[in-house]
Each structure stands twice: as structure tokens, then as C-alpha cells.
Structure 1
Amino acid sequence: MTDTQSRRRAPGMNPGQRRDMIVKAALPLVAEHGAAVTTAQVARAAAIGEATIFRVFADKEELLDACVLAALDPGHVLGEIAAVPLDQPLAARLTEAAEALRAHFARMGAVLGALHATGLRRGRAHPRHDPRAEARDGGAEAGTAPGREESMARTVEAVAELFEPERASLRLPPERLAAIFLGMLFSRPRLAAGHAADPAEIVEVFLHGALT
């Protein structure tokens, strides 16, 4: 069977759905190859014909823009945090959220780092709004992602929800505790051996302090 024959026909999708499917397939390749990734590689990973990519992206540069936006978008990790069961102990809830956030930032760093290392043109790390993409997506705005402040506010709100079952016994409001917890998590303290502190260790110190 030839490479062309092995590709399946792209399922019925609107342009926005097709873009999302292609970006999802492209992200691991971008993290590995950076800007050197080819649209042929992306097409193989997505099991589509290469021409399908150019029905929803003007060129490879626009596809890379979309990958950067996807890497920066906190929507997926916020969904994971929202799915944390509130009937678990608070320590388990916070550890699960911390692990999800750490994985999100690792993915983001892998994509942005690979693009930078392979010579992504300066200024492309914050993709532009492209009206062509908006038109192809049927009017939905493309090429935009939450700003840093908005992303942090949404993250604080999501983590604050994890404190709600204990609200009556909290020393501070959930939003304040969430901000402090995220500050500890994002500071990424390093141990003597050079390893990042374990999320469970951060949660333990956050909830119980340094003393036994």
C-alpha cells in the first residue's frame, strides 16, 4: 500500500475543527523538530493528505502560529483542574492540579523552546490575528489566545474552586490561597541535586508548613 493510499480521508469537519485536529497532530512534532517540521510530517501524523493542511492554513508559518497559540492556551489544563473530584482530600486535589499545571508548562516550554532553537523569526512568538483564518473558520476569531493576566486570573479561579469544600475552616479566602499556592508552584524551587520539587512536597509544605 502506498503512503497516499494509507492515508484516510479527513472526516467531515468544519474548518475550525479541521484546524484543531491538524494542530493537535502537529504539536508533538513541533516540540521535537521546531520550525524545521514539515507539512508532510504533519500530514502523516494527522493521517490526511498534505493538501488538506493548506485548505485551512495559508502556509506553514500560519500553522506554527496556531501551534504556539495552542501551547499557550490554558483551556485544556483548566478543564483538567475543573474535573478534579471535590470529594477527595484537599491535598490530593491540589496535587492533581499541580501535576496538571506542571505538565501544561512542560508542553508549552517544549514547543516554544524547540521553535526558538530552530530559528523561529523574532516576533512570531505572539501570533497575529489573521482575517483570512477567521474567514475560513466561518467567522470565528482565529489567531487569538488569552493574555497572560487573563490566563492567570482563570487559573486562580479554577484552583480556588478546589478549596471550596473547606471554605468554613480556611484561614484566608479561597482566591487568596489559590494565588499563594500558584506562586509556590510557579517559582519552581530546585533541590540540591538539581531536580524540581515534587508537587506532593509543595502541597505538603503549603498545607502544613515546614514543621512537623
Structure 2
Amino acid sequence: MERTVERPGRASPLPVEERRRAIARATVPLIVAYGRDVTTRQIAEAAGVAEGTLFRVFDDKEAIIDAAVEEFLDPEPFRAALRSIDASLPLELKVRLIIDRFHDRFTGIFGVFASLGGRPRPPASADPAVIVSIFEQLLAPELERLRVPPAGVFAFVRLVAFASAIPHLNDLPGSLDSAELAHLVVHGIEKGSDPC
């Protein structure tokens, strides 16, 4: 009986759509590092596939880059990260974790778009009702303490996180970290507290 020996470094067989997604995911950090100068060899190595495999599932390098951007902009992993926050945590800690997740998201988007020279299409407008419902669940234990509804908290936190993720604003003297931002946000949305 002949035994099959798997060669090291070869990718295990995957359905085409799964292979496409795996390649796209592996390409995202390369786009941030190299922009459009990323090579198909670098992509293949990062994805753990032969270079020829790339062209069995994509037409060309631009198609790989477009798929990577689309994969990166998928809002569901970000929503899952928000959902993973424990609603029973203290309000200020929850807000800090929310700001951290928004900050990571915006920083990643800025990095990808800057590396590609602004060519990729902007992210499709995600349905804000989905994230508002996540905020409603996260803030449910504190609703009576809030001076604004969860939708208002979402809008405010998103603006704060967006501004803090802009590279040229975040490295200025006096820039605030997520703990300081969370403190300012909480004492601005909480009833009976004086904003600092």
C-alpha cells in the first residue's frame, strides 16, 4: 500500500471561496506594509500557498487587493468584537473597551487607505441600527444613569474614537488615551455628573 506524504508548506485543500477569503485575510497586513507594491510572492507566502494558487482563484494582483480590502471592511468581525464586551462590567470600563475597538477599526481603515493611495472604494455605509442595538445591550444595565439614549452614546463614542485614530491628531502633546477618553465620555453621558 502506497502512503501519501504531504509536503511541508503546502496549503491544505479548501473550497474556492474559503481559499479566496484566506488569501484576502493574509493580504491585509501586507497592504498596510507595502501598499500596491506588495508582490504576489509575498501574498503567497503569507497565505501559505504556491504563487500559482493565487491565480487559480483570482484574475490578477489587483483582484487580490480588492478582495483584501473588501474582507477588511466587512463590519461583522468589528460587531463581534463589540458584542464580546461583557455588559456587566462597570460603565467606564465598557466605554474604554468600546473606544479601543472603534480606535482599532478606524486606525486599520486609515492604514489600508493610506497605503493604497486612497484608490479603494470607501466602506459601504453599515446599517447603524445593528451597532445601536449592540450599544443598547451593552448599556442596558446603566440606562437609568444615562442622560442620552444608546444611539446618542454610539454617535458620541464613534466621533471621539474617529478623531483619536487620526494619526496627526493623536500624536500631539496632551493627546488622551482610551482610559482618559472613556472618563470624559462617561461623565458627559451620565446623569448628575459634571463633565470634566
Using the size of structure 2 for normalisation, the TM-score is: 0.80
Specify the alignment match of 2:61 in structure 1: 60
Does 1:101 find its partner at 2:102?
yes
3-state SS in 2 of match to 1:162: helix
Q: Which of 117, 122, 126 is 2:121 aligned to?
A: 126
1:70-117 residue CA offsets vs partner (Å, 9 max, x unmatched): 23222212111100111211111111111111111111111111111x
Does 1:74 find its partner at 2:75?
yes
Q: Would the aligned equivalents of 2:36 and 2:116 in 1 still touch at CA under 8 Å?
A: yes
Specify the alignment match of 1:42 in structure 2: 43
Aligned residue identity for 2:67: A
Query: Could you tell me how far apart the structure 1 residues matched to 2:24 and 2:65 are?
Result: 9
Aligned residue identity for 1:200: A
Does 1:202 find its partner at 2:178?
no
Aligned residue identity for 1:81: L
Consecutive unaligned residues of structure 1, counting only runs of 5 or more, are 128-145
Q: Would the aligned equivalents of 2:31 and 2:116 in 1 still touch at CA under 8 Å?
A: yes
The CA deviation at 1:44 is: 0.8
Specify the alignment match of 1:176 in structure 2: 152
Q: Would the aligned equivalents of 1:25 and 1:45 in 2 still touch at CA under 8 Å?
A: yes
Q: Which of 132, 153, 157 is 1:156 aligned to?
A: 132
Counting matched residue pairs gives: 182
The CA deviation at 1:168 is: 3.2
Consecutive unaligned residues of structure 2, counting only runs of 5 or more, are 1-6, 189-193
Does 1:83 find its partner at 2:84?
yes
1:1-60 residue CA offsets vs partner (Å, 9 max, x unmatched): xxxx6522x223222211111111111111111001111111111111111111221111
Does 1:22 find its partner at 2:23?
yes
Query: Could you tell me how far apart the structure 2 residues matched to 1:173 and 1:40 are?
Result: 50
1:143-185 residue CA offsets vs partner (Å, 9 max, x unmatched): xxx622x254433333333211112333232222222222233
Share of identical aligned residues, percent? Answer: 30
Q: Judging changes above 3 Å, is the alpha-carbon distance between structure 1 residues 43 and 179 closer, same or farther for their aligned structure 2 residues?
A: same
Specify the alignment match of 2:124 in structure 1: 147
3-state SS in 1 of match to 2:147: coil
Q: Which of 125, 142, 147 is 1:166 aligned to?
A: 142
Using the size of structure 1 for normalisation, the TM-score is: 0.75
